[in-house]
Amino acid sequence: MIHKHLKKTIAVLLLAMLIISQTACTGQSGGQQAQTSFGEDWLLNTYCYIQTFEAGQEDLIREAFALARNYENQLSRTIASSDIGRFNASQGGCTVQEDTAKLLGDCRNAWELSDHMLDATMGAVTSLWDFSAEDPQVPDAADITERLQYVGAWDRVTVSPREGDPDGLWEAHKDDEGIMLDLGAVAKGYIADRAAQLLYENGVQRAILNFGGNVVFLGEKEDGSPWACGIEDPSEGQAEALIQERGTVGTVSCYSQGGAVSVVTSGTYERCFVSDGVTYHHVLDPRTGYPVETDLLSATVIGPSSETCDILSTTCLLLGSGKALPLIAGMESCEAVFILTDGSILQTDGVSFSVSQ
């Protein structure tokens, strides 16, 4: 029997694929659809697919997926041999790849940008919660309290290059063995960016990459129209519904400006469970170790970098609409659409968003 969480995840991605395929296909003269190449894989604990708009590029797509898997094996908290897995299991730190070190710098910057709400040093707490388990349980309150001492530990984590290291490795150090990292709010976006970069560097002019809700549109559509991506309806009461029963609240239209544009949605409805009548979602508050109390059901961020959009979408959920809207509005290259718990929709001034009828 397929795990209910797995079925739901597949269903969500199939809807995303349907939405994008219906609204984002390139056009050709005479109404003929362009030849395409397509590949799919299970990565980052989700269904992923890549579509390019030229025939015969399946090998290149497989290469992009192989690159993504290598990064997953390097960055995943749940893979013991990864940089993050080794760091978390160590007493004082370990060597890491250069791009892992770069990501840790990005995580530190995100922590500061988010008023210390988006915190990659939450690993000691997030490891207590297993939202994909067959029978998820609320962790013991004493365990959460004990591990909160290791959160917000950026003054106790240092990353520096190893001089003369032939492999270009860096040293990631921690002052307390209890400190653990979780790059869940940044890694998928970073990996999507790297996969898109590989395609671009190998001559792909236009493509769609969907890495579990991190959507990257590479290049411009041939007919000059914008890319379009539907935003899933996260309405309360639908969290456990199969996606066949859920529609979209609207569609975001965007141009890549000759490069790439990403549409990333984070939502409290994506991974959750109910225990004793209380719904627990996966976006955890670093101050309490429990799901954050927020007025947002979902946050969709549109911008040139999937990593940045990944960071910002989760940050917005953590901050709530009152702080999230001015945060995104103050950024030149990003726009956002927020779905609130009362069903209302907020958006930044520069976004092109049409509500479903």
Q: Which amino acid is at 205?
A: Q
Counting DSSP H helices and E strands in the chain, the numbers are: 9, 16
The confidence score (pLDDT) of residue 204 equals: 97
Map residue 279 onto helix, strand or coil.
strand
The H or E element containing residue 310 is helix 306-319
pLDDT digits (tens, 9 = 90+) for 139-195: 999 999 999 999 999 999 999 999 888 999 999 999 999 999 999 999 999 999 999
Map residue 327 onto helix, strand or coil.
helix
The confidence score (pLDDT) of residue 242 equals: 36
The residues, any chain, with a CB within 8 Å of residue 121's CB and separated by 6 or more, are: 111, 150, 151, 152, 153, 154, 157, 179, 180, 181
Q: What's the average model confidence in pLDDT over 189-210?
A: 98
Using pLDDT thresholds of 50, 70 and 90, give the confidence band for residue 32.
Answer: very low
The confidence score (pLDDT) of residue 20 equals: 53
Q: Architecture of 73-174 per CATH?
A: Orthogonal Bundle (1.10)
The confidence score (pLDDT) of residue 137 equals: 96
pLDDT mean across residues, the chain: 89
Using pLDDT thresholds of 50, 70 and 90, give the confidence band for residue 246.
Answer: low
Q: CA Rg, the chain, in Å?
A: 20
Q: Which amino acid is at 319?
A: L
Whether the Cβ atoms of residue 27 and residue 222 lie closer than 8 Å to each other: yes
pLDDT digits (tens, 9 = 90+) for 123-136: 999 999 999 889 99
Whether the Cβ atoms of residue 53 and residue 59 lie closer than 8 Å to each other: no
d(CA 6, CA 271): 11
Using pLDDT thresholds of 50, 70 and 90, give the confidence band for residue 21.
Answer: very low
Can you state the angle between helices 187-201 and 58-75, rounded to 10 degrees? 150
Using pLDDT thresholds of 50, 70 and 90, give the confidence band for residue 34.
Answer: low
Whether the Cβ atoms of residue 241 and residue 273 lie closer than 8 Å to each other: no
Decide if pLDDT at 15 tops 60.
Answer: no
d(CA 161, CA 206): 36
Using pLDDT thresholds of 50, 70 and 90, give the confidence band for residue 82.
Answer: very high
The confidence score (pLDDT) of residue 356 equals: 82
Q: What's the average model confidence in pLDDT over 226-247?
A: 67
Map residue 151 onto helix, strand or coil.
coil
The confidence score (pLDDT) of residue 33 equals: 53
Cβ-based burial of 128 (10 A; exposed 0-12, middle 13-18, buried ≥19): middle
The confidence score (pLDDT) of residue 27 equals: 37
The confidence score (pLDDT) of residue 357 equals: 66
Decide if pLDDT at 102 tops 80.
Answer: yes
Q: What residue spans define the domains of the chain? A: 73-174
